Amino acid sequence: MILVTGATGLVGGHLLCELTQHHESVRASFRSEFKQQETKKLFEFYFNTKAQEYFNKIQWVRADILSLSDLNELFDGISYVYHCAALVSFHKIDFHACMSANRQGTANIVNLCLLNKVKKLCYVSSTAALGFNPNGTTDETTKWKPGKEVSGYSISKYSAEKEVWRGAEEGLPVVIVNPCLILGPGNWNDSSLSIFKTASKGIFFYPKGSNAIVDVRDLVSNMIYLMNSTITNKKFLCTGQNVSFLELLGAIASCFNKRPPRMKTPRLISLIFAAFSEVFYLFLRKRRGLTIESVYSAYKTIRYDSRLISTTTAIPFTPLNDTLLHAIKGRII
């Protein structure tokens, strides 16, 4: 039996779509019935008339990864675990929540894997758990370092990885994947997909930084390959195409027949707006996407080297435009 935590997220939902095509039963954790129904819509997008057949193969269990009583039920009879559950936030006010969900939640998953003698764990980490090489490319060997521009989310994911490595030292076979900005069909109000909602209205400004984009289908394919292989106790960058934010926002704008962004915003101006945005939240409790931590990230020029996973799995990365068009076509409302 295979368990997927965080099954109603972008990665977890696509992982279920793939696994249910090849397995008779998959167990999935969820917390929100609304998000569960969004996952069903994802099945309908991919499978049309066969959507219900595949969706019915999932054993849904309502569970909080911070609740040991929930997890004991979730792990009954489980042999393989894909741990996709995480809290993604670049709001300073969410630091403790990120540490709780990402570090302690992962520690709980690792402990239950050890207790139930799970055969293998795949942990979905993040490039945020890696260091940053300003003078070259960043790869799996680039060491994470603390600093004032390191986000709380980064700290939580790095701490979570330490829990996974602890499990490996105690005898649990593990693989870790470190994706970057993940794009694919889903709800445009969620996490990385909100960039489509913003770009569809037109964007005039852009930050000078760069990052990388990975298609969620490529990420899932690599995760399944690694889990089915004899590879253990290794981590892999899964980052697709390196791209500047100007290039990315321009490509998305083109998909919506909008003009590309034309004005580079100075970092200081963005930080000032971000500071006002965070103060605005403290008074009115209304979230804005721009935060000080997200600005720090947007103005870094990062280039990732994902040759290790490319040579290991030989799975080609989807071209950027194909990823964007697929994600737009599969919008879930």
Please write the tens of the pLDDT for every residue from 41-59. 999 999 999 999 999 999 9
**Model confidence at 285: pLDDT above 80:** no
Let me know if 269 is exposed, middle or buried by CB neighbors in 10 A (0-12, 13-18, 19+): exposed
Domain boundaries, the chain: 2-187+211-243+303-320
Q: 274 falls in which pLDDT band (50, 70, 90)? A: confident
- Taking the alpha carbons at both ends of the chain, their separation in whole angstroms is 31
Architecture of domain 2-187+211-243+303-320: 3-Layer(aba) Sandwich (3.40)
Sign of the alpha-carbon dihedral angle for 313, 185, 286, 266: positive
Please write the tens of the pLDDT for every residue from 96-114. 999 999 999 999 999 999 9
Residues 6+ apart with CB under 8 A from 211: 127, 180, 181, 242, 243, 245, 248, 297, 300, 302
pTM here is: 0.95
